[in-house]
Structure 1
C-alpha cells in the first residue's frame, strides 16, 4: 500500500473522529440544556407553589398587626400603612385564652395519645395475627370511612347527653378515641416489618403484647408520629364537635372561643383580633411540627412500602 493511500486513510479516520466528537459534543450540550431547563422549571414550579401556600399565612400575620380601621377599608392593602399590638391585647381581654388553650391541649393531647394506642393495637392484630375473618373486619372498617360524620353527629350527641357527658372533657374525648384512618395507615406500615422478628421473639418465649411493645412499636416510630401528628392537628383545629359539646368557658376549646368573636350582635367582625387568635392557636402546632417534621415525612414516605 502506498504512502499516499495510508495518508488519505489516516486523514479520513481523523475527519471521522472529529465529526463524531462534534456530534457527541452537540448531544452533551443538548442534554445539559435539557437538564438545566428541567431544573429551572422544577424550581420555578416549587417557588410558585410555595408562594401560593405561604401567601394566606402572610395575610393572617399582616392583618393580625393591622388596626381594624385599616382592615375595613376598600380596596384592601397587602402591606398596611400602620401596625399595632392592640389586636392581641383585645384578644386576651375578650377571651380566656390560657384556659381555652389548656382545654385544647387536654382534648387534642388526650385524643392523640389514646387514639394512637388503640389504633396501633388494632393495626397489630390486623397485620401480624392470623385469624379467620381478618380481611372482612378490615373491609368493614374501611367501609365505615364512607359514612359522613354529620350523619353520626346527632346520635352520638344524644348518647353522650344521656350519659351526662356534655360540657366535660370525656364528652369530647370518648368519640375520638379510635380512628379508622389511623388503623389503616399503621396496618400498612406494620405489614412492611419482617415477620421473622415475631417468630424469633416467640421462640424466646415472648407473648403478643411483648412483641407489640418491644419489636413492632420501636420499628414503627415514624408511622406512629405521623398518625399522632394527624390526630393532633385534626383535633386541635376541630371546631364543630367542641362547639356542639361545650357551651361553658371552663371546657371550651380555642377554636370554639375564636368562633365566639364573630357575631355577638355586632355587624362588624374584628378581623384583626380573629387573625391574632388564629396565629396564637396555630403556634403550638408549628412548634410540634418543627421538631418531628423529619420523622413525619419519613412516615408518609415509607407507609405501604414492602
Structure 2
C-alpha cells in the first residue's frame, strides 16, 4: 500500500507522547498524628464534664478552624494537580479527532477491499462447486449454502485466487457423498414403487414418507401391514357378498315354493274351480267359517317378493289389509 504521509511526519507521530513530571506534596503526618492523639487525650469524658459551656464552644471553634484550614489547603493542592490534567485531556481529545478520522477512513477502504476480495472468493468457490456438480449430474445449486464456509482466506493459497488442495478434497468428498445419497434414494424409490405395484397399493404415500426421512425398513414393514389388511378386508367383503347372495337365493326359492303350493285355476265369471290339487270334500261337509289372523311380515327379498306374495293371496281369495309399508 502506498505511504500516504512523508517519513518525517511518520517518525514524529510514532515517537510523540505526553510527558508527566510528578510533583511532591510535603506534610509531616507523623507529627500531625502525634499532636492529634495528644489533643484527643486532653478531651476525655471526665475532662469534658469539668468544662464550662463557653469553654466547650471555644474548643470547638479552635479544632474546627484547624480542620477547615487543612481542607482548604487540600482543595488548593488538588486544583494544582487536577487542572493541568483536565486541560491536557481536553486538548489531546481535540487534537486526536483528525487522527481518528484518518483511522476510520483507512478502515473503510480496508473493509471495501476485503469485501471485494470476499466476493471474488465466493464466486470462485461457486464456480468450483457448479463444475463438480455438473460432472456428477447434480443440480448446480445443491451446495449453495456451502459457498461462504469455503470462501474464507484460510481455504485459499496465499495471495492467490486458488483453493488449497485440502479444500478441493473436502469439496470432492462432499459432492461424492451427495451423489451416493441420491443414487441410494433413487434405488429406494424404485423399490417402493415395485413393491407397491406387487401389493396393489398406491406408491405416493410411501415415497412421501421416504422424503420425510422415514427409514426404508420401516416403510417396507408398513407396506406389508397395509397389504395384509387390504387382503383381509377384500376376503371379508367377498364372504359377505356370497352370504348375501345365498340368503337372497334362499328367499327366492321359498317365495317360488309358496307361490306353487295350493294354487287353483278358477273361472273368473262363475268362480268355478277348474283344477283342484286336493279332492273336493263332500257337500255334506260343515260350512267353513272365515278365519282371521293379524300378521306382520318382513320380505327379505324386497318389494318384488311382496308383490309375488300378494298375488298368491289374491289368487286364493284371501282378503288382506295393508296397515303400513316398509316400516
Higher helix proportion (structure 1 or 2):
1
When the two structures are superposed, what TM-score results if normalisation uses the length of structure 2?
0.19
Question: Relative contact order, CA 8 A, sep 6+: which one is greater?
Answer: 1
